[in-house]
Structure 1
Amino acid sequence: MQTLSKLIQNNLKQYGMIIALLLIVLLFQILTAGILLKPLNITNLILQNSYILVLAIGMVLVIITGHIDLSVGSVAAFIGAISAILMVELNMHPFLSVVLCLLLGALIGAWQGFWVAYIKIPAFIVTLAGMLLFRGLTMIVLEGQSIAPFPTDFRQISAGFVPDFFGSGSIHIFSLVISVALSLIFVYKEVKDRKNQLKYHFNVLPKSLFIAKLVGVAVVMNGFTYILATYKGIPNILVILFVLIVGYSFMMKKMVVGRHIYAVGGNEKAAGLSGIKTKRVTFWVFVNMGILSALSGLIFAARLNAATPKAGNLFELDAIAAAFIGGASAYGGVGTVIGAIVGGLVMGVMNNGMSIIGLGVDWQQGIKGLVLLSAVAFDVFNKNKSSS
């Protein structure tokens, strides 16, 4: 029990948000008379929040380093506009257009990262300027009008689904096969990690709770996939999100670069004295944010099937909220990719549920604001409590 209590205390905010997400889902499932968890609505929920979740992954890295990026929505809109010009007006191949847009996003991130990391201008000012600059450039490039439609191949990013190689019945069999395979991989990895932790006498969950955790995750994973399988299966965008989540989680937990990002956010001076090139770390975090902003813009444009001057409006606030609600600290040095995804899902489920029950936009914005304030207040409370 002492080990369990310590594990819960060390991961209180992350576990708390997962529990909160489950309770919010249950609440809106009841309030919407079962509409929330219908296959069509869950698919729409994934598609509607995919570009915010992509931004949240990049934003949590920026926040961990102790910075903020207010320009991501404008950058996403600008990249969407450039992609429309390349594909719609210049008839460039979608693959080449996507590559060029991602490179442009990296250049934008490098531009902002240079001012933040090497010139030492506060990120708030640099990215505020970027927000205004790229919003203006979006309007100039589009000349105040929308450009559409995009090629069919490009639209498959947001509108397509993984094909079923086992037939085309009412159940998408291939999605279930993927889910079972991933469940087995997850169980194998968790058992292996537990053995290694026991070998070096680390604190681990009691065996009964560990088994309950494995069963619970497997049930949720396969149950979720079954719901998707009864509609059209796994959306392509979910595959992209899965790759990003796994890749960035591995980087932050297992790779040196991830440790450096946490070290810079925790104490930049100490990190510099220990040999970490803090300026370079900050620079590349902003380059990464630029790439993910570009990817988010492409996903949004593909979903909308158009590039519009108003695209990306308030994306930055949703991404920042997702990172903080998911456990990132306002002081830097704390946060996880999974936490940011959970935070994004909390916001997404709330938006979707409140819309279904007919709650006005004014009430939605107010409730979201209170949720964000509560999450940050909880972080500050824990910080003050641990330092006292």
Structure 2
Amino acid sequence: MDVIKNVFRTNIRQYGMIVALVLITLLFQFLSDGILLKPLNVTNLIQQNSYILVLAIGMVMVIITGHIDLSVGSVAAFVGALSAIMMVDYGMPFYAATVLSLLIGAAVGAWQGFWVAYVRIPSFIVTLAGMLLFRGLTMIVLNGQSIAPFPKAFQKISTGFLPDFGSNSVHMLTIVVGAALSLVTVVQELRSRRTQQKYGFDVLPMPWFVLKLAVMVAVINIFTFVLARYKGIPFILILLFALVVVYTFVMKRTVMGRHVYAIGGNEKAAKLSGVKTKKVTFWVFVNMGALAALSGLIYAARLNAATPKAGVNFELDAIAAAFIGGASASGGIGTVVGAIIGGLVMGVMNNGMSLIGLGIDWQQGIKGLVLLLAVSFDIYNKNKSGA
């Protein structure tokens, strides 16, 4: 029993948010009379929140380093506007415009990262200025009007689905993908357990471990079956999965990831240890700019238009997702998976409250309270561990 308590205490943030996500999902599934988890609504939930989840991945890295980025919504709108001009007005091939848009986003991130990392201006001020600057530039380049429509191939980034083999009422390829993911998950968990045992870490007793595996496999297959009953796996879900895998690997298994955590934990100590703090901070902002650009492209593809009002409040949702997912307000703590879970909590709440007819005023108030509770929980745990 002590081992179970130790394992839970070590992963209290991760497990706590997963439990919260499950409870919130079940609550709104009941209140919406079963509409929340219908295949069409689940697919819409993924597509509607994809651009926030992309931003949350970059934002959690910024927050881990002890900084903040308030400009991501405006950068997303600006890049979406430029992509529309390139594709719609000038007829540029969508793949060339996409690559160029991502490079523009990275350049914006480099601009802001320079002021934060090398000039040492607080990130709050730099990105607040960026928020105003790029919102103004968006309105200038669009001349206050929307540009549409985008090429069909570009729209598929946000609204397309994996093709299926044969003609079936259930998307068979999605079922196969679910089974393959289940197998990969089991192998990965077994390998992780052996590694932990090798180095003497606490692990769950075998019956609890088997139960954990069974729950994970069940969730994966139920989720893929729900998707298979509509049109299958959206392209955007594949992109999100790839980003989560890559960034989780970077943060957990690479020198760059360890340096990001080191800077957030204690920047002076990290610098004395040989970490190039300015360079790492600079590249974190470059990465955030590129992901903001990707978010802007996804949003524009889903809306099939570039509009002056795009990206409004994106930065607030991304920051909330990171904090709700376990990132610490003082830096040094947070995970990519946690940010995704936090983003899903926000997404399910938004969707569920809309389904049951709550007005936008109530939605904003409840989201604010959830964010406050998440940060309070972080402070409570920190004070308790310090005691």
User: Which category describes the TM-score, using the shorter chain as reference length?
Assistant: over 0.9
Q: How does 1:1-388 map to 2 (within 5 A)?
A: 1-164=1-164, 166-388=165-387
Deviation at 1:320, TM superposition (A): 0.1
**Which AA in structure 1 matches 2:333?**
V
Aligned length: 387
Deviation at 1:168, TM superposition (A): 2.2
- 1:8-66 CA-to-partner distances (Å, cap 9, x unmatched) read 11221221111000000000000000000000000000000000000000000000000
Cα distance between partner residues in 2 of 1:369 and 1:59: 18
- 1:274-319 CA-to-partner distances (Å, cap 9, x unmatched) read 1010111100000000000000000000000000000000000000
Deviation at 1:217, TM superposition (A): 0.6
Deviation at 1:181, TM superposition (A): 0.7
Cα distance between partner residues in 1 of 2:208 and 2:266: 35
Cα distance between partner residues in 2 of 1:130 and 1:139: 14
Cα distance between partner residues in 2 of 1:318 and 1:199: 40
Cα distance between partner residues in 2 of 1:158 and 1:344: 17
**Which AA in structure 1 matches 2:185?**
F
Cα distance between partner residues in 1 of 2:154 and 2:167: 24
**Which AA in structure 2 matches 1:107?**
A
Cα distance between partner residues in 1 of 2:202 and 2:40: 42
Deviation at 1:73, TM superposition (A): 0.1
Deviation at 1:193, TM superposition (A): 1.8
- 1:196-255 CA-to-partner distances (Å, cap 9, x unmatched) read 222222211111111111111110011000000000000000000000001101111111
**Which AA in structure 1 matches 2:51?**
Y
Aligned alpha-carbon RMSD (Å): 0.7
Cα distance between partner residues in 2 of 1:325 and 1:197: 27
Q: 1:227 to 1:335 in 2, by over 3 A?
A: same
Deviation at 1:335, TM superposition (A): 0.2
Cα distance between partner residues in 2 of 1:321 and 1:76: 17
Cα distance between partner residues in 2 of 1:60 and 1:127: 15
**Which AA in structure 2 matches 1:139?**
M
Deviation at 1:194, TM superposition (A): 1.2
Cα distance between partner residues in 2 of 1:187 and 1:176: 17
Structure 1 unaligned runs (5+)?
Answer: none
Query: Match of 1:328, SS?
Result: coil
**Which AA in structure 1 matches 2:28?**
F
Query: Match of 1:329, SS?
Result: coil
Deviation at 1:186, TM superposition (A): 1.2
Cα distance between partner residues in 2 of 1:280 and 1:180: 42
Cα distance between partner residues in 1 of 2:167 and 2:342: 35
Cα distance between partner residues in 2 of 1:115 and 1:218: 46
Cα distance between partner residues in 2 of 1:213 and 1:239: 24
**Which AA in structure 2 matches 1:155?**
Q
Query: Match of 1:233, SS?
Result: coil
Cα distance between partner residues in 1 of 2:178 and 2:290: 29
Cα distance between partner residues in 1 of 2:266 and 2:6: 25
Moved beyond 4 Å, runs of 4+: none
Q: State TM-score, norm by structure 2.
A: 0.99
**Which AA in structure 2 matches 1:34?**
G
**Which AA in structure 2 matches 1:308?**
T
Cα distance between partner residues in 2 of 1:290 and 1:128: 14
Structure 2 unaligned runs (5+)?
Answer: none
Query: Match of 2:311, SS?
Result: coil
